[in-house]
Amino acid sequence: MDKPQQLIISEIARRSKAGLPLTPEEAAAYDSWREKKSEYQREWREKNKDYQKEWRIKKQAASLPMAANQ
């Protein structure tokens, strides 16, 4: 008995970017994954609105001692 081929998102993405044909099942799995990823990212950005601001402040603070020692 053959096992069904496991759909691997990274492989499907590589083939899609290369312009290679995808089966309808692969295309549906990839679209579903992208939709879930986008939804997760939207929710994360909504919860962490100040993340970029905090990251820039931390990055600037980390670079200050290095600049003072030069």
Could you list the residue range(s) of the whole structural domain that residue 20 is in?
A: 9-69
2 within a domain of the structure (yes/no): no
Task: Measure the CA–CA gap between 16 and 34, rounded to whole angstroms.
Answer: 13
Specify the number of domains making up the chain. 1
63 within a domain of the structure (yes/no): yes
Whether residue 15 contacts residue 22, with contact meaning beta carbons closer than 8 Å, is answered with yes
pLDDT of residue 3: 46
Q: Does the predicted model carry a pTM greater than 0.85?
A: no
Q: How far apart are the first and last CA of the chain?
A: 68
Q: Which residues of the chain have pLDDT under 70?
A: 1-6, 64-70
pLDDT of residue 1: 42
43 within a domain of the structure (yes/no): yes
19 within a domain of the structure (yes/no): yes
16 within a domain of the structure (yes/no): yes
Question: Which residue, among 41, 32, 36, has the nearest Cα to 12 in the 3D structure?
Answer: 32
pLDDT of residue 52: 76
pLDDT of residue 2: 46
